[in-house]
Amino acid sequence: MNNSLIIRIEEIQQACGKILAAVDSNSLSVLTETLQIKTENKKMYISVTNREYLAKVKIDIPEDVEFLATVNANLFLKLVSQITTDTIELSVVDSTLILKGNGVYKLPLIFDGEKLLELPEIEIDNPTVEFDVDSSALLSLIQYNSKELTKGQPSHPMQKMYYVDEKGAITFIFGACVNSFTLEKPVKMLLNDRLVKLFKLFKGEKVHFTMGMDALTDDIIQTKVRFETPEVTITSILSCDDTMLKTFPVDSIRGRANATYPHSVKVNKDQFLQTINRLLLFSSANSAKDIIKPISEFKFEKDHVVVFDTRGENKEEVWYSNSTIEDSYDTYIDLNDLKVTLETCVDPYVTLEFGDTQAVVVTHGNIKNVIPECEH
């Protein structure tokens, strides 16, 4: 079956650089440590899997040759990244992949018993919805929503998931990030962080999205999604159950983010962030409790806000560029929550809405960050 392949080094290094982001190796599974090279119809596909998703990067080749090899992903990718010749040649001899570049290198093939291991395809046999989405919407999940995602053990599994529908995306821990964008057709899904991280492979282009549902039994429905460009394809089996999707607090979070608040002020983002960073220095000098959750007082006056450190011993004033506040308003919020929100913001100014004793909503562009008010 196998012939030799000669590929320009720039093409394969670019493809390998992309597929590297999708390597999610687990020593308990040979599949997750495996990279597959397969040709079909004058195209070469480099693929990896983590058992939930299958990621493929395509390279056009001049001839319609048949080729199949599966090797250790990390070894192959590291080797290719360090080749400096104009081209590399790939061939299979017996149970070995031969790579010719600066030298001649032998990489053992990976077998499943006596048969060459092949990565399992994830097929969407019954597509229910398809549309194109701008990659900027997908990348915004990484830029903004990922900051409101539990990194450790969550109090509820949905705090580790991205909720996405035709109105945008939501993530939450104590506060929440409401990211507003529009998809062409109605859809509801929960995506995990391992899948969303791969959206960085899509930049400045339209991504074709497909969703399908397969009945495994009379009671179990499996949801699959595909994100595809001419060069990159990511197909995934969604790992959440239908109950979690139905109980995700979409309406309450969007309701809180889009509520009408008594007061609104606009501040310079950089000045505000610099103030927070200076006052956080005093939190780290205090108790462990202050470091973990630095609750600070905010006194909103008519033309400025006074921000205190966690002990109320140090303070700074930040002046508004615009304000609707008539009376002063005093509240306590987590400095770290505000810091993370401001760090994700690319706009020069942010708007803060508050006054109902429940939350402070920070708005920048299409993003609303809900920061809960704290008891003190």
Distance CA 349, CA 267 (A): 6
Q: Does domain 127-250 have CATH number 3.30.70.100?
A: no
Distance CA 118, CA 116 (A): 6
**pLDDT (tens digit per residue) in 121-168:** 999 988 999 999 999 999 999 999 999 987 767 778 899 999 999 999
**pLDDT (tens digit per residue) in 285-298:** 555 455 557 899 99
Between these two residues, 200 and 240, which has the higher pLDDT value?
A: 200
User: Which homologous superfamily does the CATH classification assign to the domain defined by 263-372?
Assistant: DNA Polymerase III, subunit A, domain 2 (3.10.150.10)
Phi first, then psi, for residue 82 (nearest 5°) are: -105, 5
Query: What pTM, to 2 d.p., does this model score?
Result: 0.92
What b/e readout covers 151-163, taking b as 16+ CB neighbours within 10 angstroms? eeeeeeebbbbbb
Domains 5-116 and 263-372 are alike in CATH topology: yes
Domain ranges of the chain: 5-116, 127-250, 263-372
**pLDDT (tens digit per residue) in 309-342:** 999 999 999 999 999 999 999 999 999 999 999 9
Between these two residues, 63 and 168, which has the higher pLDDT value?
A: 168
User: Which homologous superfamily does the CATH classification assign to the domain defined by 5-116?
Assistant: DNA Polymerase III, subunit A, domain 2 (3.10.150.10)
